[in-house]
Chain A
Amino acid sequence: MKNREVDQTITDALALPRLVRLSENLFAASFVLMKLLPARFILDRARDAALIGRGSTIIETTSGTFGLALAMISALRGYNLILVSDPAIDDALKRRLEDLGCRVEIVREPAPVGGYQRARLNRMAELQAEFPDHFWPSQYDNPHNPGAYAPLAELLLEAIGHIDVLVGTVGSGGSMCGTGEYLRTVHPDLKLFGVDTPGSVLFGQPDRKRMLRGLGNSLMPQNLDHSVFDEVHWVAAAEAFRATRLLHQRHALFQGGTSGAAYMVGDWCARRNPDEKVVLILPDEGYRYQDTIYDDEWLHSQDLWLPDPPREPHLVDHPHEAGDRWTRLQWERRSYEQVIGGSFIPAQQSSSFLAGSPSAGD
């Protein structure tokens, strides 16, 4: 038996999730801030390669939890962090980031193609020119993002052992592709269920405005390896928010909206396959969403109030058939091109990040 230990920093203390059993065969990996794992791993590798040290400038574009994780570590290690964000960033988060010493740059106008995400990247390019010695963590294509999830796989295997299905949301692809690949080193038959949202390009839908933040994307990240997924689900905002509340009401788990989306899919999967052990990734806690997802009035005002959650996803053969409600597609570990057909070629695909050259520093 190992003695319990004192953590050296709060970022170490919070990096791993709590594991909670939600039913006979459903397990939740419930994070306070999942992005601490990739933020820490990316910055550790950069430090080991002498790319950064105390006083270094780090520039990233994010409006969410990855920025918060970077800001926490930067405050502890004395890095100067500049985050480029858009008006969707909530005020409380912005104040928290600034309290941690981070400079928050807000772009005011979306780009004609690629929306705010493109506009943020453009602003970032300007800042990068201004700070030539900066480090860019680049969560969308840095292989250290998926590479950061070995401690999560270790924890799941240590505590649960055999796992049949891993369910989680996809934004950069880091958490699902990384955790999935690490788990498959010992459980090659593990099924991966990726959760996206309508209007996200990740699994082949046309880009449009989305109310559910944190998962989905307007651009194709290199860290998304489509061929690891057995099944893809699209969950609409109202459904995800309803499920977020159910997770709280039934299990007293106070988590964010992407956790709700994952819970809806995982709960369905576990009920359908009672003999399979299903693990859910719940990426962040609920405090940021108290005035939105946890506020019935807000939900009504946004037309996102859903009295009853849907019971079943709607099965489709092609992403373009997916409507604005919970939909699933049996992806069957195919490449993007194999599923979509047609001519659109996504951003250059990295195959399994574990298959990368073992010694390459990347």
Chain B
Amino acid sequence: MVSRQQVYSSSAALQAAPRVEFGYANAHHGEIFQGVLADSGGRLRRGLVSLVCDVMTSEAIFQPDDTGIVSVDPVWKTKARRAVELTLEYLGQREVGGRLVIESTIPPRWGMGSSTSDVTAAIRAACGEIKLSPHIVAALAVQAETASDSLMFGNRAVLFAHREGVIIEDFGGALPPLEVVGFNTDPTGSGVDTLSYTPARYGWREIEAFRPLVGLMRQAVQMQSPHLAGRVATASSRINQRYLPKPHFDKIERLAEDTGALGVQVAHSGTIAGLLFDPGDPSTPERAETAKTMLDELRFTTWQFQSREL
């Protein structure tokens, strides 16, 4: 158990020199994969592979004090506040409280992990100079918000049990490099409430069909193949159409084909989607531009980013 005593030797010192701690976390751009897998004992576990996106971030500023009470601004970010409380408890610092300010550029309800980013940034701020392992950050995050995305693991490709806060499988490397043309499939931008809709109830055919996707994911990471990752993403997006369908998905798939995209990736509990390209392919910039123009014509707002080693 880590102790915070080394950092704040006494509450007197704390008052003498008020400290400000910062924490950051990236957004993600939905998932390359989401589904259910049977472990060797036959138990079913929900898991996902997040696609980290560093064009949007959440920033947490934490000013510790000795009130034992944590406040948060904006006040409705209660999960982030809870995350700070849990972190302080974990560090054995029940007497520490403070003021937490969250500034985020991540739109909520789009499936970009705005809540997990806030929570992760808050945990990182709350532990100050102590560096918690991503496994512990994940466990604290799930406690604070019921289900978390795996963005505390950065660009490492992991199959993450988002309702348990543990890694089911570490694919042994980073996600393959991907150039992503992103857009929101919901033109109103109102998004979905991630926790209010019931988790997908997959039948045996789908539970089995997730296995080959995970098999290909292993090869995609090992070979660092954007091409194979695109195949996994498209297959997972298709299965998700039965649960949280994206409008005009057939049009999006056709557009992907017409622009030579490697695959279609979606937020399985959100409204955004992405066309995937190989950043190492010289034709990618032109194809991505064509894709954006075509998406504009369908009146989707677009953006673009590259997933890379973080």
Task: State the A residues within 8 Å of B (CB).
Answer: 1, 5, 44-45, 147, 150-151, 153-162, 182-183, 185-187, 353-354, 356-361
- The smallest C-beta distance from B47 to any residue of chain A, in angstroms, reads 14
Do A186 and B204 touch across chains, with their CB atoms under 8 A apart? no
B40 in the interface (beta carbon within 8 A): yes
Do A154 and B228 touch across chains, with their CB atoms under 8 A apart? no
Do A153 and B212 touch across chains, with their CB atoms under 8 A apart? yes
Within 8 A of A (CB), among B233-260: 234-235, 238, 242
User: In the complex, what residue of chain A is closest to B209 when comparing beta carbons?
Assistant: A185
Q: How far is the CA of A237 from the CA of B220 in the complex (A)?
A: 40
Across-interface contacts of B218 in A (CB, < 8 A) = 158
- The smallest C-beta distance from A161 to any residue of chain B, in angstroms, reads 4
Q: How far is the CA of A149 from the CA of B64 in the complex (A)?
A: 56
B130 in the interface (beta carbon within 8 A): no
Do A358 and B205 touch across chains, with their CB atoms under 8 A apart? yes
Using A45-B204, A161-B223, A358-B205 as known contacts, say yes or no to A186 and B232 having CB atoms under 8 A apart: yes
Task: State the B residues within 8 Å of A (CB).
Answer: 40, 42, 172, 201-206, 208-209, 211-216, 218-220, 223, 225, 227-228, 231-232, 234-235, 238, 242
Across-interface contacts of B211 in A (CB, < 8 A) = 150-151, 153-154, 182
Further pairs besides A161-B216, A185-B235, A361-B204: 14, Cβ < 8 Å: A44-B42, A147-B205, A150-B209, A150-B211, A150-B212, A153-B211, A157-B212, A158-B218, A160-B219, A161-B219, A186-B213, A186-B216, A186-B235, A358-B205
Q: What are 25 inter-chain pairs, A to B, with CB distance below 8 A?
A: A1-B172, A147-B204, A150-B208, A150-B211, A150-B212, A153-B212, A153-B215, A154-B212, A156-B215, A157-B215, A157-B219, A160-B219, A161-B219, A161-B220, A161-B225, A182-B208, A186-B212, A186-B231, A187-B231, A354-B205, A354-B209, A356-B205, A357-B203, A358-B202, A358-B206
Do B204 and A158 touch across chains, with their CB atoms under 8 A apart? no
Q: How far is the CA of A267 from the CA of B7 in the complex (A)?
A: 68
Q: How far is the CA of A353 from the CA of B172 in the complex (A)?
A: 33
- The smallest C-beta distance from B201 to any residue of chain A, in angstroms, reads 7
User: In the complex, what residue of chain A is closest to B169 when comparing beta carbons?
Assistant: A2
Across-interface contacts of A1 in B (CB, < 8 A) = 172
Q: Which of B172, B203, B235 contacts A359 (CB 8 A)?
A: B203
Q: Which of A156, A162, A182 contacts B228 (CB 8 A)?
A: A162
Across-interface contacts of B231 in A (CB, < 8 A) = 186-187
User: In the complex, what residue of chain A is closest to B202 when comparing beta carbons?
Assistant: A358
Which of B205, B209, B214 gathers the greatest number of chain A CB atoms within 10 Å? B205
- The smallest C-beta distance from B12 to any residue of chain A, in angstroms, reads 50
Across-interface contacts of A154 in B (CB, < 8 A) = 211-212, 214-215
Report the 7 A-B pairs with minimum CB-CB distance, sorted nearest first.
A154-B215, A358-B203, A359-B203, A158-B215, A150-B208, A157-B215, A153-B212
- The smallest C-beta distance from B227 to any residue of chain A, in angstroms, reads 8
